[in-house]
Structure 1
Amino acid sequence: MKVIPTAIPDVLIIEPKVFGDARGFFYESFNGKAFDEAVGRHVEFVQDNHSRSTRGVLRGLHYQIQQPQGKLVRVVRGAVFDVAVDIRRSSPTFGKWIGVELSEENHKQLWVPEGFAHGFVVLSDTAEFLYKTTDFYAPAHERCILWNDAELSIEWPVGLEPLLSEKDAKGSLFAQAEVFD
């Protein structure tokens, strides 16, 4: 696999080696040893999640203030614009974000470590989004930052009229959100 650094050193783009021919393709979507080497520490995933959404659905920006989750995310059908926001107050990149298109064609994955808010918007008619997490879902500790917070200035795709859940529409402003030390 190829590891591509981003402007936030802890967030990594992972490109697997894809072997394809007229019959289709094969790639190793996860290898624990190679992944640990890429991120520089042992990472244990405890949960796999799969969501399906339609064009314009925006999910996020989610995180858990306790039981924080690292996430390895990818798309197996369609395309999304995926975003990670550094919400670690002690980090030099606090309040900065990374955005990358993940799709069934490019096979890219994004490693979003603990201490980040995460979200995505669907660019295709539908998208199937898979992600591994380093801790279990804990609804009592889940938080949400408003997707269009002016302080973050996330450059979502042009012309976006997102479809939001009630929870996501009521997300906190970044300045008032609970963050990590």
Structure 2
Amino acid sequence: MEVRTSTIDGVLVFVPTPHRDDRGFFTRTFDVAIGAAHGVDLGPEAQDSQSRSRLGTIRGMHGRRGRGEAKLVRVAHGAVQDVLVDARPGSPTFGTVATFRLDDADHHHLYVPPGLLHGFQALTDTADVCYRIDRPHAPGEDLAVAHDDPDLAISWPVPVTAISERDRTAGTWRDLVATLEGDRPLS
């Protein structure tokens, strides 16, 4: 398994090596030893989750207050445009937006360190996204920034077909930055 860095400090792209034959394929989706060698430790409270989205659906941009949330993200079926925004005050890549195509053909997956906003858009009729998160969900720590915030200027590749009410009414990047400067809720 190859591990690549990205334009956002601490974000890693894991590139598995699928073994293909006439039956299909087999691939390792994560290896604790390889992750540990690159500083990835999702800890004993890790939770696995999966979402299914239809073409054009946007989920995001989400983050967490407090110590943030580390996650490993991959696509089990279909394809998505995955988007990360560095919301860590003091980070050399603070405010940077990075996009990645994740799909069930290349099997790439992302390690997202704590303190980043995360979202994605489904690019296929259905897209199943799997997450391994380093700690249980705590709704009181949730953060959200609008997917169409003009300061972030995220370019979504297909028309938006569905978005939750929570995401539709999410706050602005400027408001989040003001909060971060005031009490530094993300680490």
Please, what TM-score do these two structures have when normalized by structure 1? 0.93
Tell me how far apart the structure 2 counterparts of residues 151 and 174 of structure 1 sit (CA, whole Å): 7
> Is 1:99 matched with 2:99?
yes
Q: Does the CA contact (< 8 Å) of 1:121 and 1:162 recur in 2?
A: no
Amino acid at match of 2:170: G
Tell me how far apart the structure 2 counterparts of residues 100 and 121 of structure 1 sit (CA, whole Å): 11
Between 160-169 and 111-120, report the one with greater CA deviation: 160-169
Runs of 4+ off more than 2 Å: 40-43, 159-162, 178-181
| C-alpha RMSD of matched pairs (Å) | 1.4
> Is 1:32 matched with 2:20?
no
Amino acid at match of 1:111: Y
Give aligned-pair identity as a percent: 36
Q: Which residue of 1 aligns with 2:46?
A: 46
Q: Does the CA contact (< 8 Å) of 1:145 and 1:172 recur in 2?
A: yes
Unpaired runs of 5+ residues, structure 1, are: none
Q: SS where residue 127 of structure 2 aligns?
A: strand
Amino acid at match of 1:138: A
CA 1:41–1:133 in structure 2 vs 1: closer, same or farther (change >3 Å)?
A: closer
> Is 1:161 matched with 2:160?
yes
Unpaired runs of 5+ residues, structure 2, are: 181-185
| Cα drift, residue 67 of structure 1 | 4.8
CA 1:16–1:27 in structure 2 vs 1: closer, same or farther (change >3 Å)?
A: same
Report the count of equivalent residues: 179
Q: Which residue of 2 aligns with 1:175?
A: 174
Q: Which residue of 2 aligns with 1:14?
A: 14
Q: Which residue of 1 aligns with 2:183?
A: none
CA 1:71–1:42 in structure 2 vs 1: closer, same or farther (change >3 Å)?
A: closer
Amino acid at match of 1:122: A
| Cα drift, residue 146 of structure 1 | 0.6
Amino acid at match of 1:21: D
Q: Does the CA contact (< 8 Å) of 1:67 and 1:138 recur in 2?
A: no
Q: Which residue of 2 aligns with 1:56?
A: 56
Q: Does the CA contact (< 8 Å) of 2:73 and 2:132 recur in 1?
A: yes
| Cα drift, residue 60 of structure 1 | 0.4
Please, what TM-score do these two structures have when normalized by structure 2? 0.91
